[in-house]
Protein backbone atom coordinates (compact mmCIF):
# COMPACT_ATOMS: atom_id res chain seq x y z
CA UNK A 1 0.00 0.00 0.00
CA UNK A 2 2.83 2.38 0.78
CA UNK A 3 4.46 1.92 -2.63
CA UNK A 4 1.15 2.84 -4.34
CA UNK A 5 0.87 6.01 -2.25
CA UNK A 6 4.50 6.87 -2.98
CA UNK A 7 3.98 6.48 -6.74
CA UNK A 8 0.88 8.71 -6.60
CA UNK A 9 2.92 11.37 -4.77
CA UNK A 10 5.68 11.16 -7.39
CA UNK A 11 3.16 11.49 -10.24
CA UNK A 12 1.44 14.48 -8.66
CA UNK A 13 4.84 16.12 -8.10
CA UNK A 14 5.77 15.56 -11.76
CA UNK A 15 2.41 16.98 -12.86
CA UNK A 16 3.00 20.17 -10.87
CA UNK A 17 6.62 20.47 -11.99
CA UNK A 18 6.13 19.96 -15.75
CA UNK A 19 3.05 22.07 -16.39
CA UNK A 20 3.59 25.21 -18.43
CA UNK A 21 1.28 28.19 -18.58
CA UNK A 22 -1.45 27.73 -21.15
CA UNK A 23 -4.56 29.83 -21.73
CA UNK A 24 -7.94 28.57 -20.58
CA UNK A 25 -9.14 26.27 -23.35
CA UNK A 26 -12.75 25.28 -23.93
CA UNK A 27 -14.64 23.21 -26.45
CA UNK A 28 -15.59 25.32 -29.48
CA UNK A 29 -12.68 27.76 -29.13
CA UNK A 30 -10.82 28.67 -32.29
CA UNK A 31 -7.11 28.42 -31.52
CA UNK A 32 -3.85 29.11 -33.29
CA UNK A 33 -1.08 26.68 -32.29
CA UNK A 34 2.58 27.16 -33.10
CA UNK A 35 4.07 23.69 -33.55
CA UNK A 36 7.75 22.82 -33.99
CA UNK A 37 8.33 20.80 -37.16
CA UNK A 38 11.69 19.13 -37.72
CA UNK A 39 12.77 18.96 -41.37
CA UNK A 40 16.14 17.37 -41.84
CA UNK A 41 18.52 19.22 -39.55
CA UNK A 42 16.46 22.41 -39.13
CA UNK A 43 13.44 23.18 -37.01
CA UNK A 44 10.69 25.55 -38.06
CA UNK A 45 7.42 26.72 -36.54
CA UNK A 46 4.18 25.82 -38.26
CA UNK A 47 0.90 27.54 -37.41
CA UNK A 48 -2.16 25.31 -37.08
CA UNK A 49 -5.48 27.12 -36.71
CA UNK A 50 -8.73 25.34 -36.06
CA UNK A 51 -11.63 24.65 -33.71
CA UNK A 52 -11.29 22.54 -30.58
CA UNK A 53 -13.81 19.72 -31.01
CA UNK A 54 -12.70 17.49 -28.13
CA UNK A 55 -10.62 17.69 -24.98
CA UNK A 56 -9.25 14.97 -22.74
CA UNK A 57 -8.16 16.25 -19.35
CA UNK A 58 -5.50 14.11 -17.69
CA UNK A 59 -2.98 16.40 -15.99
CA UNK A 60 0.24 16.49 -17.99
CA UNK A 61 -1.28 14.13 -20.56
CA UNK A 62 -4.11 16.53 -21.44
CA UNK A 63 -4.89 16.51 -25.16
CA UNK A 64 -7.07 18.59 -27.46
CA UNK A 65 -8.43 17.63 -30.86
CA UNK A 66 -8.31 20.53 -33.31
CA UNK A 67 -10.23 20.47 -36.59
CA UNK A 68 -9.76 22.69 -39.60
CA UNK A 69 -10.82 22.55 -43.23
CA UNK A 70 -8.01 22.69 -45.77
CA UNK A 71 -8.87 22.80 -49.49
CA UNK A 72 -12.31 21.38 -48.79
CA UNK A 73 -10.99 18.45 -46.73
CA UNK A 74 -11.46 18.25 -42.97
CA UNK A 75 -8.20 17.76 -41.07
CA UNK A 76 -8.07 16.81 -37.40
CA UNK A 77 -5.01 16.61 -35.20
CA UNK A 78 -4.66 15.61 -31.59
CA UNK A 79 -2.20 17.78 -29.67
CA UNK A 80 -0.80 17.07 -26.21
CA UNK A 81 -1.24 20.49 -24.61
CA UNK A 82 1.92 20.34 -22.49
CA UNK A 83 4.14 18.98 -25.27
CA UNK A 84 7.46 20.76 -25.80
CA UNK A 85 6.66 20.73 -29.55
CA UNK A 86 3.91 23.30 -28.94
CA UNK A 87 5.52 26.68 -28.35
CA UNK A 88 2.43 28.89 -28.25
CA UNK A 89 -1.33 28.51 -27.93
CA UNK A 90 -3.41 31.54 -28.82
CA UNK A 91 -7.20 31.61 -28.39
CA UNK A 92 -8.75 33.61 -31.22
CA UNK A 93 -12.50 33.16 -30.62
CA UNK A 94 -14.82 31.61 -28.06
CA UNK A 95 -17.98 29.84 -29.20
CA UNK A 96 -21.18 29.02 -27.38
CA UNK A 97 -21.65 25.24 -27.45
CA UNK A 98 -23.81 22.84 -25.50
CA UNK A 99 -21.82 19.67 -26.09
CA UNK A 100 -18.57 18.31 -24.70
CA UNK A 101 -17.60 16.78 -28.05
CA UNK A 102 -18.31 18.51 -31.36
CA UNK A 103 -18.02 15.48 -33.60
CA UNK A 104 -21.17 16.54 -35.44
CA UNK A 105 -19.06 19.20 -37.20
CA UNK A 106 -17.49 16.41 -39.26
CA UNK A 107 -20.73 16.12 -41.25
CA UNK A 108 -21.13 19.83 -41.87
CA UNK A 109 -19.61 22.02 -44.58
CA UNK A 110 -19.24 25.77 -45.03
CA UNK A 111 -21.70 27.99 -43.17
CA UNK A 112 -23.41 25.01 -41.55
CA UNK A 113 -20.20 24.32 -39.62
CA UNK A 114 -20.14 27.76 -38.00
CA UNK A 115 -20.51 28.08 -34.23
CA UNK A 116 -22.25 30.90 -32.36
CA UNK A 117 -19.92 33.43 -30.76
CA UNK A 118 -19.81 33.56 -26.97
CA UNK A 119 -20.13 37.13 -25.79
CA UNK A 120 -18.75 36.85 -22.26
CA UNK A 121 -15.16 35.70 -23.03
CA 25 to chain centre: 7
- When pLDDT is cut at 50, 70 and 90, the band that residue 14 belongs to is low
110: helix, strand or coil: helix
- When pLDDT is cut at 50, 70 and 90, the band that residue 7 belongs to is low
d(C-alpha 101, C-alpha 27), whole Å? 7
Query: What domain range includes position 93?
Result: 2-117
pLDDT for 61:
87
Please write the tens of the pLDDT for every residue from 19-66: 678 889 999 999 999 999 999 999 999 999 999 999 999 888 899 999
Q: How many domains does the chain have?
A: 1
Residue 117 has what DSSP assignment? E
- CATH code for position 74: 2.30.30.790
Largest CA distance in the chain: 56
Residue with the bigger pLDDT between 83 and 2: it is 83
Amino acid sequence: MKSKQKSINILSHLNKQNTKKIPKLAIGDTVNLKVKIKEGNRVRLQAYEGTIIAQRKAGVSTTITVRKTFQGVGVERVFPVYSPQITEIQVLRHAFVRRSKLYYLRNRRGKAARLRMRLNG
